[in-house]
Structure 1
Amino acid sequence: MSEVPSPRLRISDQDRESALTALGEHMTVGRIDIDEFGDRSARITAAKTRGELAEIFLDLPEPHPRYDAPKVAVVKPASPFAGISPTQRVMGALLPLLFIATIVFIVGTGASWWLIAIPIGISAVGEGIWGKGWENSHKKLGKQRRRELDG
């Protein structure tokens, strides 16, 4: 038998089921009788560690119990909104609309192109308050939505 990794590691119900299945195969081919199967089954049920389980199979060839793969902690990815306040999100979404509405207004009414200074001024004030790149929050939202649709 190959050495059992981490013999002091506690076993799961799935590990016990694997051991009972392997033990049943040994009884089926005649390596152990029904009484010995009963004794070893009771030891499997009472076993708490991989080492205790491995002792039950020391005198038997393969198959041996298959152990659970160690569980890896799943880390949730950071939210695309991390570090973006609700106000920044609203402004990031509304600013492109304000630019479009201003341009449509200028073209539709023949108003002065100087009106485009309004959304530019709002963008400059937002940058001064929240730092460079705040107006790109709408781009982050769009990228997140595309990832969700693709994934």
Structure 2
Amino acid sequence: MTEVPSPQLRISDQNRESALTALGEHMTAGRIDIEEYGERSARITAAKTRGELVEIFADLPAPHPKYDDVPQAVAAPEPAAAPAPRQPAAPEGWTSPQRFIAAFIPLVWIATIALIATGVVHGALILVPIGLSVFGRSMWGHGGHQHRRHEHHVRDRERRRALRESYRDQRRGLDH
């Protein structure tokens, strides 16, 4: 049996790319929102050890980052369970531009912060990712759940209509 490597082992750029890919899948599946994606992706790019990556994915199901020197079954053991249904590539109703913006904005934030921190550009550049974030948020509506809110509204309206009809039927039965 192969031992699980120590969480103190250093990670490679390929491990970070694998982690960013896995995190993107969690965002498109709706497990995390775009702000959390930005926060976690910044932590991934700053991570140095496997333990740091494991901590970032601790509250998320598979997929997890893959390590190039360890078989996947050893790197991230999963509990024995029925396979989960395949998640769609993006939330239902998302257009290609929305998916692009959702993936692009965190990268712009990271690049902007890095350029400002190194002194390559002036701090006013921070207005670019702020503007892109506002634009991206407008593509999804408040909180990115506009489509689901509409579905809930329709379902609630139908439920109220059914209750009214039931009440009317009961009143008719009492009147006769």
TM-score w.r.t. the length of structure 2 is: 0.37
Q: Return the index of the structure with the highest Cα Rg.
A: 1
TM-score w.r.t. the length of structure 1 is: 0.43
